[in-house]
């Protein structure tokens, strides 16, 4: 009887494996989405900073 319980616990059912795989895929998609969002946010901050520097340079060049 103890052997039967050990054998049953060693192989989870196919639905449990599928659910675990689905959770892993969802977690990976979430992490990828967050990383891409962070990269895009840093890019736009750099673009805005470059635009501010460009405007300040243009004003300095035209006014002085």
| Residue 1 reports pLDDT greater than 60 | no
5-35 b/e (C-beta count within 10 Å ≥ 16 → b): eeeeeeeeeeeeeeeeeeeeeeeeeeeeeee
- Distance of alpha carbon 51 from alpha carbon 36, whole angstroms: 23
Q: What does the pLDDT look like over 10-28, one tens digit per residue?
A: 667 999 999 999 999 999 9
What's the number of domains the chain is made of? 1
Structural domain boundaries enclosing 23: 2-63
Q: What does the pLDDT look like over 28-55, one tens digit per residue?
A: 999 999 999 999 999 999 999 999 999 9
Q: What angle do CA 50, 54, 59 make, to 5 degrees?
A: 150
């Amino acid at each position: 009887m103890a052997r039967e319980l050990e054998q049953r616990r060693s192989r989870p059912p196919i639905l449990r494996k599928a659910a675990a795989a689905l959770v892993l895929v969802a977690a990976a998609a979430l992490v990828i989405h967050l990383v891409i969002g962070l990269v895009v946010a840093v890019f736009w901050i750099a673009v805005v900073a470059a635009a501010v520097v460009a405007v300040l340079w243009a004003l300095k060049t035209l006014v002085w």
